[in-house]
Amino acid sequence: MAAAATVFLLLLPLLLASTASAVAGGKKSTHIKLYWHDVVSGPNPTAVPVARAAVTNTSKTAFGAVVVIDDPLTQGPNLKSSKPLGRAQGTYIGAGKDELSLMMNMNFVFQAGKYNGSTIAIMGRNAAFNAVREMAIVGGTGVFRMARGYAQARTHTLDIKTGDATVEYNLYIKH
């Protein structure tokens, strides 16, 4: 009996450590701040409309529009001088009939730095004129395999004439 108690006392710290890890999900938390550049103008756009609904209010809300993107992701807000981090590849769809609200479906593909080769999958509603928008992180690959979390988007610049936009993204990732 004394031997069993001794073994139990020796193994107790290991048991507690593994239980704490299981309770916490054994997951790491990562915060990444980057800038998403949606270029719809000029000779080399990174966002291309592929469909548009024949509805009278589409000019106000983009309802029914489907846009395919391959947008640059950078460390800072200036597309020309900031360090490139990767690409945002996917689609956004005009899903709001009465307001500009986009359904975002995109992968952030990291092509530089410590996350090179990894991806984050983002999906959710983006009410583009709200100061802060929140979308779900629904998965990832590489370093971010099995990721969950959320992305907060804040418009940094929007050129009303061209439609080009730079958006600050803060990613809060559990992986």
CB pairs under 8 A, 24+ apart, for 77-81? 77/35, 77/156, 77/157, 77/166, 77/168, 79/35, 79/37, 79/39, 79/166
Per 3-state DSSP, the chain is made up of helix, strand and coil in percentages (nearest 5) of: 20, 45, 35
Residue 78, CB-side half-sphere exposure with 13 Å CA sphere: 3
Confidence category of residue 82, pLDDT binned at 50, 70, 90: very high
- Counted residue by residue, the chain has a size of 175
Question: How many Å apart are CA 27 and CA 84, to the nearest integer?
Answer: 27
Of the candidate ranges 9-13, 25-29, 59-63, the one whose mean pLDDT is the lowest: 9-13
Mean per-residue pLDDT, 6-33 = 60
88-147 pLDDT, tens digit each? 999 999 999 889 999 999 999 999 999 999 999 999 999 999 999 999 999 999 999 999
- What local confidence, expressed as pLDDT, does residue 10 receive? 47
Q: C-alpha angle with apex 85: 81 to 89, nearest 5 degrees? A: 115
Mean per-residue pLDDT, 8-25 = 48
Looking only at Cα atoms, what is the longest distance across the chain?
83
Alpha-carbon separation of residue 25 from 16, 19, 29, 92, 164 (angstroms):
14, 10, 11, 32, 40
Confidence category of residue 3, pLDDT binned at 50, 70, 90: low
Which pair of tokens denotes residue 8?
């139990």
Mean per-residue pLDDT, 36-42 = 97
From the number of C-beta atoms within 10 Å of its C-beta (0-12, 13-18, 19+), residue 100 rates as middle
What are the backbone dihedrals phi and psi of residue 149, each rounded to the nearest 5 degrees, phi first?
155, -150
